[in-house]
Amino acid sequence: MRNIKEIAQLSGVSKSTVSRVISGSGYASQEARDKVLKVIQELQYKPNAVARAMVSQRTHNIGVLIYRREYPVASHPFYGKILDAILASASSMNYSVFVTTDHEMSLRSADFMLEKRVDGLILISRLEQNVIDHIGKFGVPYIMVNGSTDVPGVIHIVNRDQSGGLEAARHLSGLGHKRIFMLAGPQSHRSHHLRLEGFRAYMNGQRVEFGDSDIAYLLSSTFEEGYRMMKEHWEHFRSRAYTAIFGTNDMIALGAMKFLMEHSISVPGQVAVMGFDDNDVASILTPSLTTVRVDTEKMGRLACVMLDKLIRHEPVEETAVELEPELVIRDSTQRF
């Protein structure tokens, strides 16, 4: 078995010297370092990357931080798909990945990654400014996914959520729906806010009545919250004779659809329902959910490619990458 003791014996130095060389902390003479690195390479000790990291000052590790106040985090149908794409792309580029989640928006997760001496970071979802400022102090390259910042030069990869919200309104309006009820996720989150703004802009541009009384503002973006808010607004919904619902993500829309079906409301016969994201559940339920697709796989793949360029000090042409969403028409909407 290859271990520090064997490396020390073959190098002719102490185990503590080997540890200092491997960790990069503490003093070790250049002669001792050269001996240790030579033995590490000959033994192919864990995985040569240790020696390479000492020479190239790179660990070939990247960190992924997912910030989200509500559970689930890593298993979330949207963020989980981004994470899967990152893991696949990173593996193909010979990077190992550390993943951590943080629902408290604290600095601890960032410190955990920095202690691992990662070559770069991918930050997913919205972040508090103090987290961005903290990471920036260490000179570690980072990219933001599904979030943005006012810090100049920071690369962020986002969906054109406002465009997607507008497309959702165009679809429902084009089917003849004039009374549309919106279940809007937390407006502190960039995506939910922009989806609402896009939807509102289209409706106002068409001079279709759509105001605050037609919007329910949710505390979270979960299935349970979509169901709860539909229940809470049921009397209002019926009194206003709404014929369509738009949820600013699929889980919200699916929660509302469950409530409607439990009350014997035909979807889409009596009420059309539409979501946003196109998670895996959207296509397998009956009726399948009309939605706006976000290319989460491309988000994850681009994050790895662009972070690798930053790590290698190669030029990156774009700092703001905006992906165009795609309307996916399924069974939950039809002409009214």
Q: What is the pLDDT of residues 218-265, one digit of tens each?
A: 999 999 999 999 999 999 999 999 999 999 999 999 999 999 999 999
Give the contacts of 113 (CB within 8 A, at least 6 positions apart).
63, 65, 98, 100, 121
Q: What is the pLDDT averaged over residues 157-161?
A: 96
Encode pLDDT of 116-139 as tens digits: 789 999 999 877 777 788 888 888
The span from the CA of 11 to the CA of 7, in Å, is 6
Mean pLDDT of the chain: 88
Under the banding of pLDDT at 50, 70 and 90, the label for residue 336 is: confident
Report the candidate in 179, 208, 225, 227 with the shortest Cα–Cα distance to residue 71.
225
Please state the φ and ψ torsions of residue 161, each to the nearest 5 degrees.
Answer: -65, -35
Residue-level pLDDT at 189: 87
* Residue 52 predicted with pLDDT over 80: no
The span from the CA of 226 to the CA of 232, in Å, is 10
Encode pLDDT of 198-222 as tens digits: 999 999 999 888 999 999 999 999 9
* Residue 182 predicted with pLDDT over 90: yes
The span from the CA of 198 to the CA of 6, in Å, is 64
Beta-strand pair 142-145/155-159: parallel
Q: What is the pLDDT averaged over residues 87-110?
A: 84
Q: What is the pLDDT averaged over residues 146-157?
A: 84
Residue-level pLDDT at 55: 46
Domains and their CATH numbers in the chain: 4-56 (1.10.260.40), 61-156+297-317 (3.40.50.2300), 161-294 (3.40.50.2300)
* Residue 105 predicted with pLDDT over 70: no
The span from the CA of 21 to the CA of 145, in Å, is 35
Strand order in the sheet with 244-247: 215-217, 180-184, 244-247, 272-274
Q: Classify residue 275 by burial, with Cβ atoms within 10 Å: 0-12, 13-18, 19+.
A: buried
